[in-house]
Amino acid sequence: MSSNSGHPSPPVFVVDSDRGHPKQHRYYHQQMPRHAEPQLVPCWTFPPARAEMKRRGWGGMNAGMAWVLTLILLMVFAALGLGAYQIQRLQTEVQQLSQGMPAQMQSIAPQRQVGLNPAELNRKKQKSAAHLIGRAEQSTASGILKWEAKYGEAFTEGVKYINGGLQVNETGLYFVYSRVEFFSRTCHPKDFYVHTMHLQRNSHNRTIMEDHREGFCSAVSGQSWMTGSHIASLQHLKETDWLFVNVSHLKLLSKNYHNNYFGLFKIH
């Protein structure tokens, strides 16, 4: 018996023939529509799909994963709540501090700063200092020592070197200093020296420092001797003030440039 591959074979029923013939059978085929779909037989072996999803949990996750997700969400909400509490507490403290601040301090508000023009700014940044080294020369007419102002360690910044003296360009407090060294091959116990610094202001000269020494010679006859003099002080100088140095024995000055110097620098 051939069967259609597209549909299962219909069931066959065996029935007894009439008139008492036991070995004769008739076969009857159940009449079914050729294109009818077979009836689905209920499956009682496995649980339904919905029950399986409920057993597995949310969206296919088991109960452990669901608890972990729940704990994470709770921690996030707790962190957000703690942050909001901290912000609220800080705002309260700032408000209390501002209320307790004295009225005078509250009135001091930052003001817009007005910058200096370039000329004033450069003047503030410019140094007022000078250091001169000795040339062992002295004017015969005025007795003012001459100095080296450009070479070696000598320099002038914000100060003018004029005719052996220093002229300041800005009023302020200055530290002024000078040192000279005397050297000779002959010596007499009565020899002395004078080392002075003078200030000229409004065409008037006055001595602001002086070192006077007598009886400094203790060398044996025929041996050379050397001595030095150092003066320094704080001076409040005004604009256009002019400073210069004098010595009593020009010929006794040492020829070493670095042992004879004169300078100043502005402190305030």
Cβ–Cβ < 8 Å for 215, 227: no
Pick from 133-137, 140-144, 178-182 the range whose average pLDDT is largest. Answer: 178-182
Residue 250 domain flag: yes
Taking the complete model, does pTM exceed 0.75, yes or no? no
How many helices (DSSP H) and strands (DSSP E) are in the chain? 4, 13
Distance of CA 261 to the CA centre of its chain: 41
Mean pLDDT of 138-154: 81
User: Under a CB-based contact definition with an 8 Å cutoff, are residues 177 and 136 in contact?
Assistant: no
Residue 212 neighbours by CB under 8 Å, 6+ apart:
192, 193, 194, 195
Mean pLDDT to the nearest integer, 110-129: 59
Whether residue 243 lies inside any domain: the answer is yes
- 233: in domain: yes
Indicate if the pLDDT at residue 60 is higher than 70.
Answer: no
The residue to which tokens 């008037």 are assigned: 204
Chain segment 196-245, per-residue pLDDT in tens: 999 999 989 999 999 988 766 665 666 777 888 999 999 999 999 999 99
The domain total for the chain is 1
Buried b (16+ CB within 10 A) or exposed e, 179-210: bbbbebeebeeebebebbbbbeeeeeeeeebe
227-238 pLDDT per residue, tens: 889 999 999 999
Which CATH number does the domain housing residue 144 bear?
A: 2.60.120.40
Mean pLDDT of the chain: 75
d(C-alpha 70, C-alpha 84), whole Å: 21
d(CA 145, CA 249): 11
Q: Cα–chain-centroid distance for residue 92?
A: 32
Does residue 196 belong to any structural domain of this protein?
Answer: yes
Least confident of 9-13, 190-194, 196-200, 262-266: 9-13
Question: What is the predicted pLDDT for the residue at 3?
Answer: 46
SS3 category, 199: strand
- 232 by Cβ neighbours in 10 Å (0-12 / 13-18 / 19+) ranks as middle
Does any domain span residue 20? no
Higher pLDDT, 254 or 207: 207
Whether 47 maps to a domain, the answer reads no
Q: Most confidently modeled of 49-63, 118-132, 176-190?
A: 176-190
Q: Does residue 136 lie in a domain region?
A: yes
Report whether pLDDT(256) > 90: no
Which pLDDT band, with edges at 50, 70 and 90, does 4 fall under?
very low
Supply the range of the domain harboring residue 243: 127-266
Strand partners, 236: 173
Q: What is the pLDDT of residue 185?
A: 78
Residue 188 lies in a domain: yes
